[in-house]
Structure 1
Amino acid sequence: MHVPDGFIDAPVSVAAGVAATAAVAVSLRGARRELDERTAPLAGLVAAFIFAVQMLNFPVAAGTSGHLLGGALAAILVGPCTGVLCVSVVLLMQGILFADGGLTALGVNILNMAVVTVLVSYAAFRLLLKVLPSGRRSVTVAAFAGALLSVPGAAVMFTLLYALGGTTDVPIGKVFTAMAGVHVLIGIGEALITAATVGAVIAVRPDLVHGARGLATPLKLRVGGELVDAPAAAPAAVPAAARSTRKLWLTGLATALVLAGFVSFYASSSPDGLEKVAADKGIDAKARAHAAADSPLADYSVKDVDDARLSGGLAGVIGVGATVAVGSGIFWAVRRRRAQDLTAASTAAPSAS
């Protein structure tokens, strides 16, 4: 659903950019509360994993494909504010390095693919967790539902932006029907990928899944015929092996590199949902060439490497490396700022008293 330059006019693109900038600023502040010494390194990995999986277009209908958006996955694994930042980093890397998604449309893409997907999916996820039985399976089910809803939510946001600033004269009813229809199908793929990934992580390290925190229910004792909460036990010491995230980080990075460097060669070559709708309805009549169209990595291939498999694989590996490096740097800085805030608060407390 990467919107290229020229689909949305300048005023609406600027307004979307302002809204996206505000959302990223709020997310940077919120991420300080979500990230700790264990989850901060994983946030950069989540961004790299989303980048890799977005290269794996899957067929959804005749002549149409879809790919992961990633907002639901990121929000559930590392938190909604951090999730917005993860997807924003991916979109920035794709736009600058790979000419995927217009640079003037970056705000539109962040609003659609990062902000809306996170808000819709995480709201649905939390709502479902309140009504489902407490447990890991419920987290996976809620993740599936949240991801399923997030993709049509992003399609609706694009339709709204197109209604406000579309550069072609296409009836908005036709745009909405086409976008909603195909992206409901893409949402099923999004939901399956999200649920499978969340389920895999929660099976081995539930303590690292943001959406799974607080799952433990208090032990009940029957006293005088009534159930009462048992006294809280002293927290057990956590083994160093359980605290470490190195094994999970290395496994996740290796998986992302394999997906981007090898599996991506077998992805569907059909246009994705937005590309197909744009071509069928004439939305792309005024699309402009990407400013980075001559980039050495444009279109996810390495310039001057003739072998298509090698060229695409190298581009994918470079993209994963760049995304994990930039993302990890950002999240390390956010985590360091939180540590500084906590230190300042602790030193100021005695003097305040």
Structure 2
Amino acid sequence: MHMSDGLVSPPTALLFGVVAAVGLAVAATRARRDLDDRTAPMAGLVTAFVFAVQMINFPILPGASGHLLGGALVAILVGPWVGSMCIAIVLVVQAVLFADGGLTALGTNITNMALVGVFVGYGVAVALRRFAARGRGGLVAVSFVAALVNTVVASLAFVLQYALGGAGGASLGTVLGLMVGLHVLIGIGEGVITAATVGAVASVRPDLVHLLRTSRPAPAVRVRSAGTRSADTRTADTRTAEGTPS
């Protein structure tokens, strides 16, 4: 999914550089509300995990590679705003320190993986959230579907960028067939890894799964008549009376 320098024209790279900058600025502002004592350590862990799995990649086209994305994984565990920042940090470190993705193409890569990938994965998970809330099996299934869909849609964003200003030697039809076809296969693998990881976290600490925290219904409020008091209230009154000297 990484683009190298020169794969798209400079105007296209500049356009999506602006898109990435605006998107990350909004995400950074909104992420502050989601960061707490539980989310911050989890964000660090998923960032390291995504960094590790993205280092395993293989060439698809001259100047483009395929690998796992991690968009649905971070979105389900820490939310889309924090998740997009996690993926963006991974991409910046890869481009600057490991030359994995070009610096001029950083905007396109961030747009595809940190914005499109994360928010599409989260959108699918939210749409299927009622199934995820039913139990661990439902959560695992939803995680698989979200990861598969986010991988394919992110590859389509790559194709769109190439259609707008592709500077490589391959035709648009070739790019479409290779990118989408191979990323369907990658998405299946990503779905399995995402489902296994989310399922493992949920089995130990379901409170750390952002999707589950936001899917819980509000507690029911019991309405009592004016002259009725609950057993708990009567018990509390009795204890008070027994402990109060006459």
Interval containing the TM-score (normalised by the shorter chain): 0.7 to 0.9
* 1:75 corresponds to 2:75: yes
Any idea what SS the aligned residue of 2:8 has? Answer: coil
Match of 2:95 in 1: 95
Match of 1:86 in 2: 86
Q: For the aligned residues, what is the CA RMSD?
A: 2.5
What is the letter of the counterpart of residue 179 of structure 2? M
Match of 1:11 in 2: 11
| C-alpha distance in structure 2 between counterparts of 1:216 and 1:155, whole Å | 33
| C-alpha distance in structure 1 between counterparts of 2:9 and 2:219, whole Å | 58
Cα shift at 1:158 = 0.7
Contact 2:67 2:186 (C-alpha < 8 Å) held by counterparts: yes
Match of 2:224 in 1: none
Output aligned runs, 1:110-125, within 5 Å.
110-125=110-125
What is the letter of the counterpart of residue 184 of structure 2? V
TM-score by length of 1: 0.58
| C-alpha distance in structure 2 between counterparts of 1:188 and 1:66, whole Å | 13
Match of 1:32 in 2: 32
| C-alpha distance in structure 1 between counterparts of 2:43 and 2:155, whole Å | 26
What is the letter of the counterpart of residue 118 of structure 1? V
| C-alpha distance in structure 2 between counterparts of 1:169 and 1:97, whole Å | 27
| C-alpha distance in structure 1 between counterparts of 2:213 and 2:25, whole Å | 25
Any idea what SS the aligned residue of 2:128 has? Answer: helix
Cα shift at 1:57 = 4.5
Output aligned runs, 1:292-311, within 5 Å.
none
1:70-124 deviation digits (Å, cap 9, x = unpaired): 1111111100000100000000000011110000000010001111111211111
Cα shift at 1:173 = 2.5
| C-alpha distance in structure 1 between counterparts of 2:45 and 2:70, whole Å | 13
What is the letter of the counterpart of residue 130 of structure 1? R
Output aligned runs, 1:274-313, within 5 Å.
none
Contact 1:5 1:102 (C-alpha < 8 Å) held by counterparts: yes
* 1:47 corresponds to 2:47: yes
1:218-256 deviation digits (Å, cap 9, x = unpaired): 899xxxxxxxxxx9x9xxxxxxxxxxxxxxxxxxxxxxx
Match of 1:141 in 2: 141
Any idea what SS the aligned residue of 1:7 has? Answer: coil
Relative to structure 1, the CA distance from residue 166 to residue 205 in structure 2 (aligned partners, 3 Å threshold; closer, same or farther) is: same
| C-alpha distance in structure 1 between counterparts of 2:121 and 2:133, whole Å | 19
Relative to structure 1, the CA distance from residue 153 to residue 203 in structure 2 (aligned partners, 3 Å threshold; closer, same or farther) is: same
Greater Rg over alpha carbons, structure: 2
| C-alpha distance in structure 1 between counterparts of 2:95 and 2:132, whole Å | 39
Cα shift at 1:41 = 2.3
Relative to structure 1, the CA distance from residue 107 to residue 28 in structure 2 (aligned partners, 3 Å threshold; closer, same or farther) is: same
Contact 1:143 1:195 (C-alpha < 8 Å) held by counterparts: yes
What is the letter of the counterpart of residue 136 of structure 2? R
Any idea what SS the aligned residue of 1:3 has? Answer: coil
1:241-300 deviation digits (Å, cap 9, x = unpaired): xxxxxxxxxxxxxxxxxxxxxxxxxxxxxxxxxxxxxxxxxxxxxxxxxxxxxxxxxxxx
Cα shift at 1:132 = 6.0
| C-alpha distance in structure 2 between counterparts of 1:102 and 1:148, whole Å | 26
| C-alpha distance in structure 2 between counterparts of 1:92 and 1:208, whole Å | 26
Output aligned runs, 1:1-353, within 5 Å.
1-57=1-57, 66-130=66-130, 134-168=134-168, 170-214=170-214
Q: Equivalent pairs: percent with the same residue?
A: 53
| C-alpha distance in structure 2 between counterparts of 1:124 and 1:147, whole Å | 9
Contact 1:136 1:212 (C-alpha < 8 Å) held by counterparts: no
Contact 1:139 1:211 (C-alpha < 8 Å) held by counterparts: no
Cα shift at 1:52 = 1.1
Which structure is richer in relative contact order (CA contacts within 8 A, separation 6 or more)?
A: 1
Aligned residues between the structures? 218
TM-score by length of 2: 0.81
After TM superposition, the runs of 4+ consecutive aligned structure 1 residues lying more than 2 A away are: 55-59, 130-137, 168-171, 214-220
